[in-house]
């Protein structure tokens, strides 16, 4: 009797970097993507017997990323991920399901003499557009999209009071603090929205603008409260999503003691810190 058996497993290729230039008569478009492919399926004998007859090499997956990027007319990372999954599933019956994660790095067109230059670009911030697309053989697509690395900070309308204080508490209460965070957001599209079709880029832009506006305007009593308000407003903005996950680390900005230099520091000079930081995350769903 065997003492072990294979449970769930999947494999794939990670950190495939794709740069795509789409040339039009009067301008070029530039996309830079980092792609991950993960496959589930009938791979047991590869693990238990070293039989690779059902294994699609990960090097082939890498080449598939390039090929599909070349032949696809996808105008969003969601459309590209769907095309990539359909290509793999249609040619590999042993694969029962595939998940593709794409991160899009932001490039901005250069401004020269006050005008956008058609063929020159600047790398933007560390913000990335993201999507996670999955599908089983003969199944429907499941799509979650979002953003990551969006560094935001507000200098007003933020405080933190009324928390637990014990013998180890040194944090002073404040009704006027800097609130900095790096937003990671992911929203799930409803099956109906996916089936009917939607403009992923348009929805992403509107949800990003909605959550940024909430962040800026919200009278924040805590990171948690502002996070919930951002997710709540995102759900109120469109019926095409049914949940929003938000990760918002509290990137502390510490008030510098200038009294030793004979100066008063009335929330004027701070030192930004990356570590340690508070970690706040939540998923907001429709009530």
Q: Known catalytic residues?
A: 13, 58, 252
Residues in Cβ contact with 1 at an 8 Å cutoff, skipping those fewer than 6 apart: none
Q: Are 277 and 249 in contact (CB under 8 A)?
A: yes
- Helices 223-237 and 200-217 sit at what angle, rounded to 10 degrees? 140
**Listed residue (210, 216, 224) closest to 157, CA to CA:** 216
Q: Are 153 and 223 in contact (CB under 8 A)?
A: no
| 196 dihedral zone (left: phi>0; alpha: psi -120 to 50; beta) | alpha
**Listed residue (173, 174, 191, 176) closest to 135, CA to CA:** 191
Q: Which residues pair with 19 in a beta bridge?
A: 32
Distance, in Å, from the CA atom of 282 to the CA atom of 280, rounded to the nearest integer, reads 7
């Amino acid at each position: 009797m065997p003492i072990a058996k294979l449970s769930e497993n999947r494999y794939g290729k990670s950190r495939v970097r794709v740069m795509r230039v789409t040339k039009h008569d009067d301008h070029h478009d530039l996309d830079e993507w980092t792609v991950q492919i993960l496959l589930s399926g009938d791979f047991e004998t590869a693990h238990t017997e070293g039989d690779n007859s059902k294994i699609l090499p990960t090097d082939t997956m890498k080449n598939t990323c390039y090929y599909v990027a070349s032949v696809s007319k996808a105008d969003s990372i969601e459309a590209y991920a769907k095309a990539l999954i359909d290509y793999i599933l249609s040619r590999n019956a042993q694969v029962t399901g595939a998940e593709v994660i794409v991160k899009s790095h932001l490039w901005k067109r250069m401004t020269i003499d006050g005008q956008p230059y058609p063929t020159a670009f600047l790398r933007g911030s560390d913000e990335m557009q993201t999507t996670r697309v999955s599908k089983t053989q003969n199944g429907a697509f499941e799509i979650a999209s979002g953003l990551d690395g969006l560094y935001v900070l507000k200098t007003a309308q933020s405080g933190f009071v009324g928390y637990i204080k014990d013998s180890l508490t040194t944090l002073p209460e404040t009704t006027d603090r800097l609130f900095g965070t790096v937003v990671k957001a992911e929203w799930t599209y409803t099956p109906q929205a996916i089936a009917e079709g939607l403009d992923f880029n348009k929805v992403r832009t509107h949800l990003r603008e909605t959550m940024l506006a909430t962040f800026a305007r919200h009278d924040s009593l805590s990171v948690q409260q502002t996070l919930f308000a951002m997710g709540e407003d995102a759900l109120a903005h469109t019926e095409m999503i049914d949940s929003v996950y938000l990760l918002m680390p509290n990137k502390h900005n510490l008030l510098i003691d200038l009294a030793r230099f004979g100066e008063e520091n009335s929330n004027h000079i701070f030192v930004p810190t990356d570590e340690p930081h508070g970690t706040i995350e939540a998923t907001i769903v429709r009530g």
